[in-house]
Structures are given as C-alpha cells and as structure tokens.
C-alpha cells in the first residue's frame, strides 16, 4: 500500500468516526428509517450531480441485479441497522462494533480466494480489537434485551460491509467508482423509500438533526463512499475495510473536542496498537519501495 492510500484510509476513518456521533444525535429525533432514507437520498443528489458534471457513463443493464444486491448489502442494510442501534447504544459502542467488519472482510476475502489468510492479517485483526478496546472506555450498559439486540444489529451491519467487500472490489475493476457509488445508492434508495415515507409523519425536524443528516448524506455517504471506492481500485478489499479500526479513535477524539468528553490514557496505547494493526492487515510499509501497479482490465 502506498503512503497516499494509507493517508486516505485515515481521512475516511475521521469522516466515518464522526458519523456515529451524528447518528446518535439525529436518529432519536428523525427516526432511524427516515434518517437512513434521507441520508441515502442526499448522497444520490450529490453523486448524480458529480456524474453529470464529470460526464460519467452509467453501468450496463447486465450489472443491474449485482448492483441491487450490493446496494442493499453495503448501503441500505448497514445504514438502517446503525441508525436503529443509535436509539439504544452510545456512539462509542457502535463505532467499536463496526471494527468487526475487518474480521468479516478478512474471512470473506480468504473464502473467495482474493488473498491468503496469513498470520500477519490474523494478528492485525486481534491487535485492532485490543486497540479499540483500550481506546473506547465504555461505561456500564445494562444488558437488556434491547441493548443486546442493538449490539447484534451493529455486528450484522459490520458483517454486511465485510462480506460484501470482495465483491465490491471486483466491481471497481469493471466500472468507474463514481458510477458504481451512484448506482449503489440509487438501488438502496429504491428499496428504502417505502419505509422512509411510511415513518415520515413520526419525524421531528430540528435544526440539529437536519444538520447531522446533511453531513451524513453529503459528506460521509456521498463523497466518502466515492473516495472509498476510488481507493478500493488500488488496494485489497481487506485493506480498504481496515479504516474501521481507526474509526473508534476519531469517535473518541471528536467527542472530546466537541462534547468535552474525557480522554483516557488508553487512547494513546490503543492508538499505537490500531496503527500497527492497520499496517499488518494492509501490508503498509513506508520504507518499502513501491512496485508499479498493473493496469486494471
């Protein structure tokens, strides 16, 4: 992995780390279905404008069914599950559980033969989980049925990201990342729209919730997803997913900066472990001479 791709991973982690704070603020006000649907709709507006501005071509009809499946598994389901979990879990819990996407992605990539399940990748996953555990000093949460269900929803959302990663990687070689991102969000919107309209009367439109929804749709979903797919063309699906390890780092940091939440000493030790985990999982080595990338088919 080149240094610029590693830096892009960190930038994505910063964006997506903030998204759990926005979900925690907006979901109880707007409702999870309305928030997730409007988030996808805003992303579609941004991506469609970019498609027209950059004069991108649309994917062929032969890709319709795979794109529908990927739109559901990588956009619709995770967005709704995390929004629903935000009603019951602190943002730190959701960010921590999101890191399991790397584990699911590593196993999925090994299953489909994209890459070998090496000892360094397994060690990187283990170190990553230890790191996020040190960083996010979670307070006691009563293990009620609702909190357990919310935690399982987060794990299910992370599994959607991880298992779909290798298939998403293959599609980035067949079509432009912007066209792929737009098609996936449109497919997700098609599936989510009935539920979003059904629960619309229950939403409360506060300025804070609308601001959070706007950032989630335009920045973390539209622009962030496009950036994610562009990077995925040049790195493995597991490497692209490894940003999930750094998301809790930024989740805790944003909470301290904007909400005056206290920092623990574990964030520094945990942060070093997370960076080491990302290096092991992605194969990043700044001292290694980069090899030229082969052209995509």
Look at residues 28, 34, 87 and name the one whose alpha carbon lies nearest to residue 199. 34
* HSE toward the beta carbon, residue 173, CA cutoff 13 A: 12
Contacts of 258 (CB under 8 A, 6+ apart): 21
Q: Which residue has the tokens 């989510």?
A: 192
Q: How far is CA 101 from CA 191, 206, 238, in A?
A: 23, 32, 9
**Contact predicate 213/23, CB 8 Å:** no
Residue 259 or 199, more confident? 199
How confident is the model at residue 180, as a pLDDT? 94
Residue 228, pLDDT > 60, answer yes
Tell me what pLDDT residue 184 has.
96
pLDDT at 292: 47
- Predicted confidence (pLDDT) at residue 203 exceeds the cutoff of 50: yes
Residue 241 has pLDDT above 60, yes or no: yes
- Please state, rounded to an integer, the average pLDDT across all residues of the chain: 83
14 or 220: whose pLDDT is higher? Answer: 220
* pLDDT tens profile 161-191: 989 988 888 888 888 999 999 999 999 999 9
d(CA 149, CA 137): 21
Ranking 77-86, 94-103, 221-230, 283-292 by mean pLDDT, the lowest is 283-292
Residue that wins the pLDDT comparison between 125 and 193: 193
- Residue 137, pLDDT above cutoff 60: no
Ranges of each domain in the chain: 3-282
So what's the pLDDT on residue 90? 82
Q: Is the pLDDT of residue 243 over 80?
A: no
The token pair at 57 is 């071509």
211: left (phi over 0), alpha (psi -120 to 50) or beta: alpha
Give pLDDT, residue 293: 40
> Does residue 81 register a pLDDT over 60?
yes
Q: What are phi and psi of 265, to 5 degrees?
A: -65, -20
């Amino acid at each position: 992995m080149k240094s610029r791709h590693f830096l892009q991973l960190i930038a994505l982690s910063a964006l997506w780390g903030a998204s759990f704070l926005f979900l925690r603020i907006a979901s109880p006000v707007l409702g999870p279905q309305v928030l997730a649907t409007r988030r996808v709709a805003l992303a579609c507006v941004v991506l469609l404008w970019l498609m027209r501005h950059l004069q991108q071509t649309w994917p062929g009809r032969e890709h319709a069914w795979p794109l529908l499946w990927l739109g559901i598994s990588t956009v619709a389901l995770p967005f709704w599950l995390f929004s629903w979990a935000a009603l019951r879990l602190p943002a730190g819990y959701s960010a921590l559980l999101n890191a399991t996407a790397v584990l699911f992605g590593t196993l999925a990539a090994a299953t489909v033969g994209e890459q070998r399940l090496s000892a360094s990748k397994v060690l990187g996953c283990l170190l990553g989980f230890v790191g996020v555990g040190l960083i996010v000093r979670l307070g006691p949460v009563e293990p009620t049925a609702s909190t357990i269900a919310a935690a399982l929803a987060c794990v299910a959302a992370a599994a959607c990201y991880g298992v779909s990663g290798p298939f998403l990687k293959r599609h980035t070689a067949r079509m432009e990342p912007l066209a792929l991102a737009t098609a996936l969000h449109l497919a997700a919107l098609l599936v989510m729209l009935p539920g979003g309209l059904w629960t619309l009367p229950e939403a409360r439109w506060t300025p804070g919730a609308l601001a959070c929804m706007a950032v989630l749709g335009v920045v973390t979903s539209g622009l962030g997803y496009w950036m994610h797919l562009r990077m995925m063309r040049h790195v493995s699906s597991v490497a692209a997913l490894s940003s999930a390890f750094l998301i809790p780092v930024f989740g805790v940091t944003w909470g301290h900066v904007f909400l005056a939440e206290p920092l623990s000493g574990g964030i520094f030790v945990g942060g070093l472990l997370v960076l080491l985990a990302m290096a092991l999982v992605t194969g990043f080595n700044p001292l290694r001479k980069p090899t030229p990338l082969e052209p995509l088919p």
